[in-house]
C-alpha cells in the first residue's frame, strides 16, 4: 500500500482517491479513530515526519497548525531537525511559545533502538505501548445495544422463520443480488424486483426501495401516527427502544411488526424472482 498509494505523501495526510482499493479506503476512513490511540515514540526522530506523523500526543503538526502550514515547504522534514544532543531544539521554526512548551513535554527515549509506534487503545492498560488486534477492533467497531438486537431477533411473539430472516439482515448475510457480483460472479439481472429501478442490495431492498419504504411507513402509521425514521434497521430499532420505558406493550408490538415486515419483504422478493409471482401491494400488508 505504501508503494502503490502513498508514494508521494504520508499515511496520515493521504487524500482518499476513488482509484484506491475498497480495503485501503476503509482503512483511511478509520484514521481519525485510530489516531486517538496511536502515537510516535521518539528516539532520534529520523523516521518521524515532522509535520504529518502523530507525535505530539496523538496529533500531527499539520493537524494543529492547519492552514498556517506551507505543505510544500515542509515536505520531507523529520523530527530529527528539531532534536539535538538528545534534547528538543524547536527554535527557528514557526511554533508559538505554547506549542514549543508542549514539544518540550514530549519525552525523547534514548534507550530505544529506533523511533517506534506506541499503542494506547482501549483495554491495553499497563502502558506497554504494544499494538493489540482486540483493542483495535474494539476501537473501530460500531457499538450497538446488543440487548435490543437480541430482543428484536429472539424475543417472544416472532415466528422462527422471521427470527432467522431478521438475524441474517442484522448481520448483513442475506443473499441479495449485489453479493454474488461482489464475489466476481456474473448475473443477468441485478435490478431490485420490487421497484425494477435500482440495483438490489440489502440497504436498498429493505429500506431504500420505494415499495418497501411504503410498507414501513404504513406500519409506522398504524403504530404511532406516521413517525419519520432513518432508513436502516439499527436506527429503527433504536427508535422503538425509545418507547420501551414509556410503553413496553407498544415497543413489543413494534418489534414483532418489524420482524414480520422484514420477512414478508424478503418472501415477496423471492416469490417474484423464483416463482414469477407478484403479490398486489394491498395484500402485502402484514397485520
Among 13, 120, 195, 229, binds Zn ion (CB under 5 A): 195
Residue 119 vs 213, nearer CB to Zn ion: 213
* Closest distance to Zn ion from the beta carbon of 113 (Å): 59
Closest to Zn ion by CB, 177 vs 252, is 177
Q: CB-wise, 140 or 195, nearer to Zn ion? A: 195
42 contacts Zn ion (rule: CB under 5 A): no
Q: Which is nearer to Zn ion, 209 or 215 (CB)?
A: 209
Rg value, the chain, Cα: 27
> Does residue 193 interact with Zn ion by CB under 5 A?
no
CB 41 within 8 A of CB 112: yes
Please state, in angstroms and rounded to a whole number, the distance separating the CA atoms of residues 5 and 81.
27
Residue in the structure block whose three cell numbers are 534514548: 110
Name the residue nearer to Zn ion (CB basis): 99 or 195: 195
Of 110, 70, 116, nearest to 93 by C-alpha is: 70
Q: Which of residues 142-161 bind Zn ion (CB under 5 A)?
A: none
C-alpha neighbours within 13 Å on the C-beta side of residue 105: 8
With CB under 5 A as the rule, give the number of residues binding Zn ion.
4
Should residue 209 be labelled a site residue for Zn ion when binding is judged by CB under 5 A?
Answer: yes
Q: Minimal distance in Å, beta carbon 196 to Zn ion?
A: 7
> Shortest distance, CB of residue 208 to Zn ion, whole angstroms?
7
Q: Taking CB under 5 A as the rule, does residue 37 contact Zn ion?
A: no
- Report in angstroms how near the CB of residue 205 gets to Zn ion at its nearest: 6
Closest separation in Å from C-beta 277 to Zn ion: 17
Q: Which CB sits closer to Zn ion, 231 or 244?
A: 231
Beta carbons of 88 and 82 less than 8 angstroms apart: yes
Residue 194 in the binding site for Zn ion (CB under 5 A): yes
Residue 50 engages Zn ion in binding (rule: CB under 5 A): no
The verdict on 192 binding Zn ion (CB under 5 A) reads yes
Cβ(83)–Cβ(90) below 8 Å: no
Cβ contacts of 201-208, under 8 Å, gap ≥ 24: 201/176, 201/177, 202/169, 202/172, 202/174, 202/176, 202/178, 203/231, 203/232, 205/176, 205/265, 205/266, 205/269, 206/169, 206/233, 206/262, 206/265, 207/231, 207/232, 207/233
Give residues in contact with Zn ion (CB under 5 A): 192, 194-195, 209
Amino acid at each position: 500500500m505504501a508503494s502503490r498509494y502513498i508514494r508521494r505523501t504520508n499515511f496520515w495526510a493521504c487524500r482518499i482517491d476513488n482509484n484506491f482499493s475498497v480495503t485501503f479506503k476503509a482503512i483511511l476512513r478509520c484514521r481519525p479513530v485510530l489516531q486517538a490511540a496511536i502515537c510516535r515514540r521518539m528516539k532520534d526522530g529520523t523516521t518521524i515526519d515532522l509535520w504529518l506523523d502523530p507525535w505530539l500526543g496523538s496529533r500531527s503538526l499539520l493537524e494543529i497548525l492547519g492552514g498556517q502550514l506551507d505543505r510544500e515547504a515542509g515536505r520531507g522534514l523529520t523530527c530529527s531537525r528539531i532534536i539535538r544532543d538528545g534534547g528538543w531544539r524547536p527554535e527557528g521554526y514557526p511554533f508559538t511559545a505554547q506549542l514549543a512548551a508542549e514539544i518540550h513535554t514530549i519525552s525523547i527515549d534514548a534507550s530505544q533502538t529506533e523511533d517506534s509506534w506506541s499503542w494506547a487503545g482501549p483495554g491495553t492498560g499497563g502502558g506497554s505501548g504494544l499494538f493489540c488486534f482486540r483493542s483495535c477492533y474494539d476501537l473501530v467497531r460500531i457499538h450497538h445495544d446488543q440487548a435490543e438486537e437480541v430482543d428484536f431477533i429472539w424475543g417472544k411473539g416472532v415466528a422462527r422463520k422471521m427470527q432467522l430472516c431478521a438475524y441474517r439482515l442484522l448481520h448483513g448475510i442475506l443473499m441479495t443480488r449485489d453479493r454474488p457480483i461482489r464475489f466476481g460472479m456474473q448475473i443477468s439481472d441485478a435490478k431490485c424486483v420490487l421497484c425494477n429501478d435500482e440495483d438490489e442490495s440489502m440497504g436498498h431492498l429493505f429500506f431504500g426501495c420505494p415499495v418497501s419504504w411504503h410498507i414501513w411507513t404504513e406500519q409506522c402509521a398504524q403504530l404511532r401516527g406516521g413517525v419519520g425514521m432513518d432508513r436502516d434497521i439499527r436506527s429503527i430499532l433504536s427508535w422503538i427502544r425509545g418507547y420501551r420505558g414509556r410503553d413496553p406493550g407498544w415497543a413489543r408490538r413494534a418489534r414483532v411488526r418489524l420482524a414480520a415486515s422484514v420477512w414478508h419483504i424478503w418472501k415477496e422478493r423471492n416469490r417474484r424472482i423464483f416463482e414469477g409471482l407478484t403479490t398486489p401491494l394491498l395484500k402485502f400488508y402484514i397485520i
